[in-house]
């Protein structure tokens, strides 16, 4: 090839590269413009767990403006145009039946202290209107999601107390069964089914969540539990950090038949960025994540897709989505794929706001209903870590079935 032809080819390649860079920059500029108006609401971030594991919740020893060994800090949130974040109040499954409630209270406390310690950046809110207020004030709306039904220790009273402390979603399980609901490992054969989805007490938990105004989160549950909860809930449900099973056949992801029910029930699947749930391997990239957005949109509709990065809760994230600052790059990729500004505004924030408002409306409708107060059967929670106060057990059970006079006599002897 002659020198002239070589120079011409190099010139053409340079022109093509320049045009490509221009398109990429244009998409990112448009993404930033859209997100300035409609910042992202992310469904799940485990920074509170990092604060526990690294600092034992001693926020006085942390500077969230310069924290460098996490996916999340304040400058990264600002750069990523994060307008609202559900912070996970997560405690591991080995706290179940032990100190799960206490440990969860501590994680709720750390979120509230983040807002108190950084009032110019975080605004703790507990309603859809609160999120919109935070958007207007250019602060990160901070909400609490309890990650795992083991955190309430099968107590409806604990559930109600968590609501009063600001909890606005609860993931029904983590990676363990609780006495009233099955987790995703049941579908792998690693855990035996206990409730065959959702038990009768589990349905009572769902009702009470609907009555209170706590979103039902189906990340981490078995497929049978997904379907049972979608049937039982009177309000739309969310998957706060799950992806599409069709693209990665991992049991943490959502199958197409469930996505179709989500569409019918007007729920929301917030796409998880963890490599193992994106490609079912250790490696993934931003484009692979965008594929999940495309697929969920194609099956469940644009009204049912959102963002649930799972940052600071996973060991690996995709190339191009290394931390929370990278959301605009993902939005730019979706623009490149033909998503409209209106569609992106729905996925970024408006879908979650719609679901949240419908959950709040359902709560208002159910306010005339009395709180459910029938406790779970003691045999379901019996252990050395659980007392039996209020339950008739052993000799007391026999006396409970006898005369009131005998029961009163025994009580008098025991306590006086």
Residue 310 is a catalytic residue = yes
Active site (annotated) includes residue 220: yes
Catalytic residue among 220, 250, 292, 295: 220
Set 174, 250, 292, 295: catalytic member: 174
Is 398 an annotated catalytic residue?
no
120 is catalytic: no
Helix (H), strand (E), coil (C) string for the chain? CCHHHHHHHHHHHHHHHHHHHHHHHHHHHHHHHHHHHCCEEEEEECHHHHHHHHHCCCHHHCCCCCCCCCCCCHHHHHHCCEEEEEEEECCCHHHCCCCHHHHHHHHHHHHHHHHHHCCCCEEECCCHHHHHHHHHHCCEEEEEEEECHHHHCCCHHHHHHHHHCCEEEEECCECECECCECEHHHHHCCCCCCCCCECHHHHHHHHHHHHHCCEEECCCECHHHHHHHHHHCCCCCEECCCCECCCCCCCCCECHHHHHHHHHHCCEEEECCCHHHHCCCCCCEHHHHHHHHHHHHHHHCHHHEEECCCECCCCCCCECCCCHHHHHHHHHHHHHCCCCHHHHHHHHHHHHHHHHHHHHHHHHHHCCCCCCCCCCCHHHCCCCCCCCCCCCCHHHHHHHCCCHHHHHHHHHHHHC
Q: Which of 42, 46, 291, 343 is catalytic?
A: 46
Q: Is 44 a catalytic residue?
A: yes
Catalytic one among 71, 150, 241, 250? 241
Which residue in the list 42, 147, 182, 333 is annotated as catalytic? Answer: 147
Q: Which of 187, 208, 310, 323 is catalytic?
A: 310
Catalytic residue among 44, 71, 150, 295: 44
* Catalytic sites, residue numbers: 44, 46, 147, 174, 220, 241, 310
């Amino acid at each position: 090839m002659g020198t002239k032809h070589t120079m011409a080819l190099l010139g053409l390649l340079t022109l093509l590269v320049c045009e490509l860079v221009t398109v990429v920059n244009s998409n990112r500029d448009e993404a930033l413009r859209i997100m300035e108006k409609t910042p992202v609401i992310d469904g799940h971030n485990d920074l509170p767990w990092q604060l526990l594991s690294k600092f034992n919740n001693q926020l006085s020893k942390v500077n969230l403006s310069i924290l460098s060994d996490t996916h999340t800090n304040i400058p990264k949130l600002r750069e990523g145009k994060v307008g609202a974040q559900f912070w996970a109040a997560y405690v591991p499954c080995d706290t179940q039946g032990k100190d799960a409630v206490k440990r969860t209270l501590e994680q709720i406390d750390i979120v509230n202290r983040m807002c108190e310690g950084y009032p110019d950046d975080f605004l703790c809110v507990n309603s859809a209107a609160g999120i919109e207020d935070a958007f207007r004030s250019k602060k990160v709306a901070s909400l609490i999601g309890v990650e795992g039904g083991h955190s309430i220790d099968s107590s409806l009273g604990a559930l109600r107390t968590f609501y009063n402390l600001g909890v606005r979603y609860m993931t029904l399980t983590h990676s363990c069964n609780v006495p009233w609901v099955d987790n995703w490992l049941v579908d792998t054969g690693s855990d035996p089914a206990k409730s065959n989805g959702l038990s009768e007490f589990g349905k009572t938990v769902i009702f009470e969540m609907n009555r209170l105004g706590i979103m039902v989160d189906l990340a981490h549950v078995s497929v049978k539990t997904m379907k049972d909860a979608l049937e039982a809930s009177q309000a739309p449900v969310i998957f706060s950090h799950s992806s599409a099973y069709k693209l990665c056949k991992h049991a943490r992801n959502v199958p197409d038949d469930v996505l179709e029910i989500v569409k019918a029930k007007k729920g929301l699947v917030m796409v998880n960025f963890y490599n193992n749930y994106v490609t079912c391997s250790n490696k993934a990239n931003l484009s692979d994540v965008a594929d999940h957005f495309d697929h969920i949109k194609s099956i469940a509709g644009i009204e049912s897709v959102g963002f649930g990065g799972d940052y600071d809760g996973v060991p690996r994230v995709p190339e191009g989505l290394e931390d929370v600052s990278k959301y605009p790059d993902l939005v730019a990729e979706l623009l490149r794929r033909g998503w409209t500004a209106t569609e992106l505004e729905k996925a970024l924030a408006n879908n979650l706001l719609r679901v949240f408002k419908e959950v709040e409306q359902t709560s208002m409708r159910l306010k005339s209903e009395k709180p459910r107060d029938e406790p779970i059967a003691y045999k379901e929670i019996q252990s050395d870590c659980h007392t039996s106060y209020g339950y008739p057990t052993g000799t007391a059970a026999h006396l409970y079935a006898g005369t009131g006079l005998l029961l009163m006599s025994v009580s008098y002897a025991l306590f006086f």
